[in-house]
Amino acid sequence: MAGTGIESQMENASCLVTGGAGFIGSHLCQILLEKGYLVYCLDNLLTGNISNIKPLEKNLSFRFFKTDITKDKWLRYFNNKKVNYIYHLASPASPPQYRRYSIETLLVNSLGTYNLLQLSKASGSRFLLASTSEVYGDPQEHPQKESYFGFVNPVGIRACYDESKRFAEAITMEYYRKYKLDIRIIRIFNTYGPNMQVTDGRVISNFITQAISGQSLTIYGSGRQTRSFCYVSDMVGGLIKAMEVKQTTGKILNLGNPEEVTIRNLADLILVLTGSSSKIVKLNKRFQDDPEKRKPDITLAKKLLGFHPQISLNEGLKISIDYFRNL
């Protein structure tokens, strides 16, 4: 597509998606297949679920490998294969999950990222790192721009995630500088939607499952802390654009929906949308260093990708509520 900055898709171009059986990864695999790519999905099912990719297995262009990307055995399979695009999403993302799997989280973001960068170097693949707004820690700048270095406790209980993602960013930038790899780093802000696990432990899946089963909604801390929630289809659209648009090479980009809400207001909204009579209970803060506020500055993504989230929190919650009701 001359002039659009988006390259025309090669016949049978292939994408490797790590964490492809997870929440965001499964949606990404689905859209990449719809776009005509050959998709290699790598996942060890640590926090993902095979049911997320069951519908994709009918598609002949979909290949699933149950493998741990921190090991290097799987790399041999790709020795003589061309991989055009690598989307590196493998990593626990929910705070209770990365606490439970703290060492696995450190390793997948360090060793796992290293293995994927080595493959990208050998295969000449474009590389996208799924990083996180957690690299900003409990931010002192609001909203958060990509230029902000963050306010992170390097030895706190969230550090297994924050610091390993910061390491992943650092090694990815080093492969860009040293080996001229075609990389981009995407800092994903809170994302939600179908295919989140009921037991995931993040706030939206918790509140919805609590509301529809008549349990009390658990607010950790004051409820005045804020987050900005992005519906998964907007996120996946942004990730694919970020990979395909040439001007993103070597760039760091925030992706998310800047619609900011307090956790208390989120609980109230979910009670209204589910028509639930569940109560709200206030509990102690769940984890030390819980960010007080979080909202992406997406000026750069708007400029480079034309990224404008389409799905409002109301709309996205309604779809998610239907999904959890039908499980």
> What's the rounded Cα separation, in Å, for the pair 28 and 239?
8
Q: How far is the CB of 47 from ligand NAD (least distance, A)?
A: 3
> What's the rounded Cα separation, in Å, for the pair 7 and 3?
9
Category of 183 on φ-ψ map: left (φ > 0), alpha (ψ -120 to 50) or beta = beta
Binding window for ligand UDP (CB under 6 A); candidates: 33-41, 45-53, 198-206, 301-309: 198-206
Under the criterion CB under 6 A, does residue 44 sit at the interface with ligand NAD? yes
Under the criterion CB under 6 A, does residue 172 sit at the interface with ligand NAD? no
Under the criterion CB under 6 A, does residue 22 sit at the interface with ligand NAD? yes
Under the criterion CB under 6 A, does residue 190 sit at the interface with ligand UDP? yes
Under the criterion CB under 6 A, does residue 95 sit at the interface with ligand UDP? yes
Asked if 117 and 141 touch (Cβ cutoff 8 Å), the reply is no
Cα dihedral sign for 24, 26, 30, 35?
A: positive
What is the radius of gyration, based on Cα positions, of the chain? 19
Nearer to ligand NAD, 32 or 46 (CB): 46
Under the criterion CB under 6 A, does residue 21 sit at the interface with ligand NAD? yes
- Over the range 188-207, which residues count as b (16 or more CB within 10 Å of their CB) and which as e? bbbbbbbbbbeebbbbbbbb
Distances 149 to 33, 95, 202, 268 between C-alpha atoms, Å: 36, 21, 25, 33
Judged by CB under 6 A, which of 24, 239, 266, 298 binds ligand NAD?
24
Residue 85 known to be catalytic: no
Asked if 269 and 204 touch (Cβ cutoff 8 Å), the reply is no
From the list 87, 136, 161, 175, the catalytic residue is 161
Under the criterion CB under 6 A, does residue 256 sit at the interface with ligand UDP? no
User: Restricting to residues 148-167, which ones interact with ligand UDP according to CB under 6 A?
Assistant: none
Nearer to ligand NAD, 201 or 276 (CB): 201
Nearer to ligand NAD, 5 or 258 (CB): 258
- Interface with ligand NAD (CB under 6 A): 18-19, 21-25, 42-48, 68-70, 89-93, 104, 108, 112, 130, 132-133, 188, 190-191
For the annotated catalytic residues, the residue numbers are 161
